């Protein structure tokens, strides 16, 4: 899917069903990830999911900055703008696809943990 988007640019390279399936797979992955994080919240030494997301966000911002900088040096401003836009859109889709179900799963696990006593 990523290669098709890269090769075809703004034209829809995948069907609606393929894009929906991609989001569903991300959602399922996020749901299971959230439930695994929610099993033992003390395992990350008191760090919340919000703290984890802020750390990841900073990491991705740094990595994306390096990639866009390299694209600027090698391909010019338009190449850097295109890459930046694609990275931003891709990250938004992936984070929302994973984060929403992951947060719901985590909250369900925390609710079960707090109300099982």
Looking at the structure of the chain, the number of domains it has is 1
Instruction: Tell me the residue range of the domain where 114 lies.
Output: 65-117
Q: Does a structural domain hold residue 102?
A: yes
pTM: 0.56
Which range is most confident: 9-13, 33-37, 46-50? 33-37
Q: Does a structural domain hold residue 84?
A: yes
Question: Tens digits of per-residue pLDDT, 57-98?
Answer: 777 788 888 999 999 999 999 999 999 998 888 888 887 787
Question: Helix H segments across the chain?
Answer: 2-8, 16-39, 49-75, 77-115
Give the span between the Cα atoms of 75 and 83, in whole angstroms: 10
Question: Tens digits of per-residue pLDDT, 23-32?
Answer: 888 888 888 7
Contact between 38 and 111 (Cβ < 8 Å)? no
Give the span between the Cα atoms of 76 and 40, in whole angstroms: 47
Q: Does a structural domain hold residue 70?
A: yes
């Amino acid at each position: 899917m990523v290669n098709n988007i890269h090769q075809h640019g703004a034209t829809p390279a995948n069907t609606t069903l393929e894009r929906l399936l991609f989001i569903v797979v991300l959602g399922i992955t996020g749901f299971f990830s959230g439930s695994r994080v929610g099993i033992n919240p003390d395992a990350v030494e008191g760090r919340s999911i919000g703290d984890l997301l802020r750390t990841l966000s900073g990491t991705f911002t740094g990595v994306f900055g390096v990639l866009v900088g390299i694209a600027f040096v090698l391909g010019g401003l338009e190449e850097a703008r295109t890459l930046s836009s694609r990275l931003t859109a891709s990250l938004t889709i992936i984070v929302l696809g994973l984060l929403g179900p992951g947060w719901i799963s985590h909250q369900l696990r925390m609710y079960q943990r707090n109300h099982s006593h």
